Amino acid sequence: MSDAAQPTAAEVRAAAEAVKTALDRHLAAVERRSGEDDPAVYEAFNELAAAAEVYDELLYDRYDEVTPFEIPGEDSLPPYTGPEEPNAISVLIRRDYAVAEPQRLLAQAQRIEAADVEAGTGIGAGATGTVHGALGTLFGEFEADEIASRHKEFGLEEGDSTLWVTASDEPADPGEWLEAPFEHVDPQQVVCRFDVSTVFDDDLDDEDDEDDIEDLVTTGLAEDDDDIEPLDTTDR
């Protein structure tokens, strides 16, 4: 960052004062809380987090120093304000994968296509010659849950995943949200959420894991990646 773009000492001091004010407001809201999910406490918490983040950034830009504060991410949910007895729920799922082995993915998609042609349900080779075409074939053949349980067979590597359950008073009308299925989600109507990420695996010992893998290969217990079990391509 250039000197011209650096914040002034006065701006850093003002940001520090804003943190102090937000801290006092948060404590006052906690002392006056009306219940476990008091929205005033939640609002004061967010204000304190925002003020601390601004101060941390200015402090670093001006003095190349950091604070000991860890600003929570947006994965924390606000208090639930949805219906007490919901008549409908929506389940939103996101699973990320890396295409770790494109050739394995292509080979599996071609096997699916060949089986469909043999069974008279396919139209011959075509889309499976590209990675995006192979992905279309794969997800068209298998349910997402089955792909999640067999992702290594398809040359995929798991990334982060999350599942949200939201509540509502009435079911959505047919086709109502199809054009934008993941928009307009109200965090205050989220009943629960479940997140999976390697960022949570703080206690992993990489060296021990590598040793375990080497032991399996040495004793012949590790499965050969080239030995792929035949896919079940029968009609559902």
CB-CB contact of 69 with 52 (8 Å): yes
Q: Residue 41: which H helix or E strand, with range?
A: helix 39-63
pLDDT, residue 165, reads 93
Q: What tens-digit pLDDT sequence spans the chain (236 residues)?
A: 445 578 999 999 999 999 999 999 999 999 998 887 788 888 898 899 889 989 999 999 999 998 887 655 545 567 788 888 999 999 999 999 999 999 999 999 999 988 877 776 655 445 568 999 999 999 999 999 999 999 999 999 999 999 999 999 999 999 999 999 888 888 888 888 888 888 776 545 554 555 554 444 433 333 444 544 555 545 54
What pLDDT was estimated at residue 224? 47
Quote the pLDDT of residue 127.
58
Q: What is the pLDDT of residue 223?
A: 44
Cβ burial, residue 114 (10 Å; 0-12/13-18/19+)? middle
pLDDT at 234: 52
DSSP letter for each residue of 85-113: S-SEEEEEEEEEEEE--HHHHHHHHHHHH
Distance CA 154, CA 105 (A): 5
Distance CA 233, CA 236 (A): 9
User: Which phi and psi angles does 3 have, rounded to 5°?
Assistant: -60, -35
Q: Specify the pLDDT at position 166.
A: 93
